[in-house]
């Protein structure tokens, strides 16, 4: 509270006037380029589509391409099938540290997974032994792991990565492609569809085509 | 097991033996098969001829003379593939038989594997001998128990006869054939995707060249061949090129399995190339009495929708491609006068978009936008210029696609636009569906599932 009426107004105008004479910060992009590090490529950001779902397919191609392994995905894929259990808590700095540790041959403390249910990895160890730790047999390993746990727990995927020496992004990128592999325990109705031996997209297509051609289905598989 | 449609007796039977001949049901019963093989003399005569008489060059020359082309959809000359793989220098080579059968409503590949497993295994063995491979893989869909059992039975029988194994045909050369199962995506039918799946990797196609025949499974020269192609190759070695050339057309001799679906019945049939579409449709009884054929869907999920006045078209790779359809999965489905072309194209394009692998922009975004245009049309919410937009987009997808899937995914909508312009226009311009299938006006009120929102992107 001031005693002189209008002092606040004068103060405010004074600030405006001061700013008016300060050097301007406008950068005439693209004539003038901002001064950033030469290797700066912009901030990484996942985009949303018009329905508000993340556009990311969780293919992990970006993670595979990143030389310092600082990219990881979190969220739902475009088909809403699952989310990636690789939370946002870690910063890029921490990721780099992890990558550096891995390269140095030391084991990486895995704080990102502390909040996931612990899984007993004995089963996956046996599976790896059966498949001779061969990354070429990854699909069989993943299928056997899913058969053992009912789904693919992150801890098991990490274990496979550690033991076969295959990049986690590679393993996740492979697993996220195949519709019969899942990262969560299946819901009852999904299980029924899986038991019927046909993925939902195919069933939808066959049913849709049959309806389109008047209640007739194509094959009798 | 699928119904096998009866074909005119004059049509040659190369891939599937007719009822009454050995084969068919006999093939699945190991005891009866052993008895049949004993009666028919030594099996795998084609393999013996290839190995003992012709050799690698001779076999390839014979296939070239016979004009054998791939039955997997592309129609690529088989001899060229084998020659490239045979000439490649590599520490190991592989043969992969593609029996995946990507189209969920076509059972042609499964049918030949279940009914004629010996011919398929013999074809695989011939291919392996010719290109110099020691290991071969037959890839089939996980869960197709009959097919797996039939193949395993045929392989075991060949092993016991000494045609496969560590000392195949007593030549000291190793030749092993393995059945592998894959599942989990439509794209697994595509050759580079199949190779990746067999290698335990994410199933996204690779750019070609290099073709699998020089850089394939595990980076080694690999011949990827449809199971019907391999069975045809075995037949050619047994019966000669001239006999093969006697069927089909000059550019595409031989026969192919098709999955025909009419209104009342459907099933698999073996047809010679060049058979008019109308004759194939008749095998399944067409649309039945009191109805007329409005369109035929040729080629499976990415097939073309052809109008009834094109039923005289010969069933060949070239003729179908010219019309905007393709051989594809061998599927031929009849739509009668009650069907709506826009609705049909919408279902097909949506499936193709959902199954696109996501590797490239035409694949990931192009097919998705195309499917949305189709959905807008059938929901009666088309925007001005949607027809032009779809056409331009399809052109761009065809021009920039990485693999054939996204290129072919444009066919349902484009052939619909090409042959059923007025019907599409009714949807786009007036929000009406002449067939009364889409019912755009009733859609929002009565639809069990909410319509897809179509906001500006
Ligand atoms: C989307 C897509 C799906 C395919 N599905 C199959 C299939 O299910 N079976 C098959 O034999 N070929 C399929 N093909 C063709 C293969 O890529 C490949 O051309 C074929 O297996 C080669 O064998 P061929 O020369 O004997 O035809 C597919 C191709 C594409 C683009
Ligand atoms: S995971 Fe795949 S889709 Fe997702 S951001 Fe990375 S590259 Fe893109
Ligand atoms: S389906 Fe993705 S590149 Fe062809």
> For the segment B123-133, what is each residue's pLDDT rounded down to a tens digit?
999 999 999 99
Q: What are the C-alpha distances in Å from A123 to residues A120, A159, A164, B243?
A: 7, 11, 15, 57
Give the confidence band of B21 by pLDDT, cuts at 50, 70, 90. Answer: low
Higher pLDDT, B23 or B433: B433
Higher pLDDT, B446 or A125: A125
User: Which residue has the CA at smallest separation from atom 2 of ligand 3?
Assistant: B357
Restricting to A residues 88-147, those with a Cβ less than 8 Å away from any Cβ of B are 135-141
- What's the confidence (pLDDT) of residue A194? 54
Determine, for residues B456 and A216 on separate chains, whether the beta-carbon distance falls below 8 Å: no
Q: Which residues pair with B141 in a beta bridge?
A: B182
Beta pairing class for B266-272 and B331-336: unpaired
Q: Which residues pair with B140 in a beta bridge?
A: B99, B181
Q: Is residue B402 lining ligand 3, measured as CB closer than 6 Å?
A: yes
pLDDT of A180 above 90: no
Give the confidence band of A76 by pLDDT, cuts at 50, 70, 90. Answer: very low
Say yes or no: B301 contacts chain A, CB-CB below 8 A.
Answer: yes
- What's the confidence (pLDDT) of residue A95? 56
Of A59, A141, A179, Cβ closest to residue B185: A179
The token pair at B424 is 């599409």
Burial group, residue B56, by CB count within 10 angstroms (0-12, 13-18, 19+): middle
Ligand 3 center to residue A106 CA distance, Å? 39
Q: Is residue B405 lining ligand 3, measured as CB closer than 6 Å?
A: yes
- What's the confidence (pLDDT) of residue B20? 58
Higher pLDDT, B23 or B163: B163
- What's the confidence (pLDDT) of residue B19? 67
User: Which residue has the CA at smallest separation from atom 4 of ligand 2?
Assistant: A56
Do the interacting molecules here have an ipTM over 0.90? Answer: no
| Helix ranges (DSSP H) in B132-226 | 145-161, 191-198
What's the average model confidence in pLDDT over B94-108?
95
Could you tell me how far CA B254 lies from the centroid of its own chain?
A: 15
Index of the ligand 2 atom closest to the CA of residue A60: 1
Restricting to B residues 215-244, those with a Cβ less than 8 Å away from any Cβ of A are 218
pLDDT of A188 above 90: no
Q: What span, in angstroms and rounded, lies between the C-alpha atoms of A142 and A137?
A: 9
Higher pLDDT, A63 or A149: A149
Mutate to test the interface with B, among A54, A172, A177, A203 (most CBs of B within 10 A): A177
What's the average model confidence in pLDDT over A60-64?
80
Give the confidence band of B35 by pLDDT, cuts at 50, 70, 90. Answer: very low
Which of B183, B209, B177 lies closest to B198 in space, CA to CA?
B183
Q: What span, in angstroms and rounded, lies between the C-alpha atoms of A217 and A209?
A: 7
Phi and psi at residue B195, to the nearest 5°:
-60, -40
- What's the confidence (pLDDT) of residue B138? 97
pLDDT of A151 above 90: no
Give the confidence band of A43 by pLDDT, cuts at 50, 70, 90. Answer: low
Q: Are A169 and A63 in contact (CB under 8 A)?
A: yes
Q: Using an 8 Å CB-CB cutoff, list chain A residues near B200.
A: 135-141, 174
Per-residue pLDDT reduced to its tens digit, B158-215: 999 999 999 998 889 999 999 999 998 999 999 999 999 999 999 999 998 899 999 9
Say yes or no: B354 contacts chain A, CB-CB below 8 A.
Answer: yes
Q: Is the dihedral of CA A108, A114, A116, A118 positive or negative?
A: positive
Q: What span, in angstroms and rounded, lies between the C-alpha atoms of B40 and B171?
A: 24
Q: Using an 8 Å CB-CB cutoff, list chain A residues near B340.
A: 212
Mutate to test the interface with A, among B187, B347, B348, B367 (most CBs of A within 10 A): B347
Q: What are the C-alpha distances in Å from A20 to residues A13, A14, A23, A25, A44?
A: 10, 10, 8, 12, 35
Q: Is residue B330 lining ligand 1, measured as CB closer than 6 Å?
A: no
Higher pLDDT, B17 or A98: B17
Ligand 3 center to residue B101 CA distance, Å? 18
Give the confidence band of A190 by pLDDT, cuts at 50, 70, 90. Answer: low
CA distance A32 to chain B (A): 31
| Averaged pLDDT of chain B | 89
Say yes or no: B2 contacts chain A, CB-CB below 8 A.
Answer: yes
Which of A154, A184, B247, B78 lies closest to B98 in space, CA to CA?
B78
Percent of chain A at pLDDT exceeding 90: 16
Q: Is residue B350 lining ligand 1, measured as CB closer than 6 Å?
A: no
Sheet of B331-336, strand order: B266-272, B255-261, B331-336, B293-298, B304-307
Say yes or no: A200 contacts chain B, CB-CB below 8 A.
Answer: no
Count the neighbouring beta carbons within 10 Å of the beta carbon of residue B311.
18
Of A179, A202, A216, Cβ closest to residue B263: A216
- What's the confidence (pLDDT) of residue A189? 55
Q: Closest-CA residue in chain A for B364?
A: A57
- What's the confidence (pLDDT) of residue A28? 80
Q: Using an 8 Å CB-CB cutoff, list chain B residues near A137.
A: 200
Give the confidence band of B363 by pLDDT, cuts at 50, 70, 90. Answer: very high
Ligand 1 center to residue B72 CA distance, Å? 4
Ligand 3 center to residue B57 CA distance, Å? 35
Higher pLDDT, A94 or B313: B313
Q: Using an 8 Å CB-CB cutoff, list chain B residues near A59.
A: 202, 204, 358-359
How many Å is the maximal CA-CA distance in chain A? 91
Say yes or no: A62 contacts chain B, CB-CB below 8 A.
Answer: no
What's the average model confidence in pLDDT over B248-277?
94
Higher pLDDT, A73 or B307: B307
């Amino acid at each position: 509270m001031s005693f002189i009426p209008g002092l606040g107004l004068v103060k405010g105008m004074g600030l405006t006037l001061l700013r008016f004479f300060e050097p301007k910060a406008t950068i005439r992009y693209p004539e003038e380029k901002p001064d950033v590090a030469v290797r700066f490529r912009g901030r990484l950001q996942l985009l949303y589509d018009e329905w508000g779902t993340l556009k990311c397919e969780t293919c992990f191609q970006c993670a595979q391409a990143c030389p310092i392994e600082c990219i990881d995905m979190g969220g739902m894929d475009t088909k809403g099938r699952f989310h990636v259990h690789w939370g946002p808590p870690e910063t890029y700095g921490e990721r780099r540290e992890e990558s550096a540790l891995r390269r140095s041959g030391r084991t990486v403390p895995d704080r990102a997974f502390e909040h996931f249910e612990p899984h007993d990895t004995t089963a996956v160890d046996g599976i790896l032994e059966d498949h001779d730790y061969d990354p070429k047999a990854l699909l069989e390993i993943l299928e056997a792991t899913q058969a053992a746990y009912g789904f693919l727990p992150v801890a098991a995927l990490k274990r496979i990565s550690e033991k076969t020496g295959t990049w986690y992004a590679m393993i996740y990128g492979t697993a996220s492609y195949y519709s019969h592999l899942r990262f969560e325990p299946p819901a009852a109705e999904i299980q029924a569809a899986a038991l019927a031996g046909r993925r939902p997209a195919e069933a939808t297509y066959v049913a849709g085509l049959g309806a389109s051609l008047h209640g007739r289905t194509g094959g009798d598989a | 097991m699928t119904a096998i449609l009866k074909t005119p007796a004059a049509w040659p039977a190369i891939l599937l033996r007719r009822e009454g001949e050995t084969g068919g049901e006999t093939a699945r019963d190991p005891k009866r098969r052993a008895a049949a093989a004993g009666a028919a003399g030594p099996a795998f005569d084609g393999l013996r001829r290839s190995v003992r008489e012709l050799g690698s060059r001779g076999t390839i020359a014979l296939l070239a003379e016979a004009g054998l082309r791939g039955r997997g959809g592309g129609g690529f000359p088989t001899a060229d593939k084998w020659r490239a793989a045979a000439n490649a220098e590599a520490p190991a080579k592989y043969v992969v038989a593609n029996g995946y059968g990507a189209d969920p409503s076509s059972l042609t590949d499964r049918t030949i594997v279940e009914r004629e497993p010996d011919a398929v295994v013999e074809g695989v063995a011939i291919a392996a001998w010719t290109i110099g491979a020691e290991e071969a893989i037959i890839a089939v869909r996980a869960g197709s128990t009959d097919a797996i059992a039939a193949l395993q039975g045929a392989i075991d029988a060949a092993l016991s006869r000494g045609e496969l194994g560590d000392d195949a045909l007593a030549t000291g050369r190793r030749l092993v054939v393995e059945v592998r199962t894959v599942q989990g995506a439509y794209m697994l039918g595509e050759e580079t995707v199949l190779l990746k799946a067999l290698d335990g990797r994410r199933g996204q196609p690779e750019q070609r060249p290099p073709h699998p025949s020089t850089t394939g499974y595990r980076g080694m020269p690999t011949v990827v061949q449809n199971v019907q192609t391999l069975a045809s190759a075995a037949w050619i070695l047994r019966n000669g090129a001239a006999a093969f050339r006697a069927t089909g057309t000059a550019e595409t001799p031989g026969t192919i399995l098709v999955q025909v679906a009419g209104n009342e019945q459907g099933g698999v049939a073996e047809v010679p190339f060049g058979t008019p579409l109308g004759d194939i449709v008749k095998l399944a009884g067409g649309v039945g009495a009191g109805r007329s054929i409005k369109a035929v869907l040729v080629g499976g999920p990415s097939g073309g929708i052809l109008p009834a006045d094109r039923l005289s078209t010969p069933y060949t790779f070239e003729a179908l491609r010219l019309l905007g359809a393709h051989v594809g999965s061998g599927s031929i489905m009849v739509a009668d006068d009650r069907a709506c072309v826009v609705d049909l194209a919408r279902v097909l394009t949506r499936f193709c978009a959902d199954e696109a692998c996501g590797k490239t922009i035409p694949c990931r975004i192009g097919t998705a936008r195309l499917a949305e245009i189709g959905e807008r049309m059938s929901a009666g919410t088309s925007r001005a210029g949607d027809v032009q937009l779809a056409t331009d987009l399809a052109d761009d997808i065809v021009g920039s696609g990485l693999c054939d899937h996204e290129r072919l995914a444009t066919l349902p909508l484009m052939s619909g636009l090409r042959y059923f312009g007025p019907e599409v226009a009714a949807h786009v311009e007036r929000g009406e569906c002449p067939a009364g299938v889409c019912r755009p006006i009733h859609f929002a009120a009565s639809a069990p599932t909410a319509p897809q929102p179509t906001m500006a992107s």
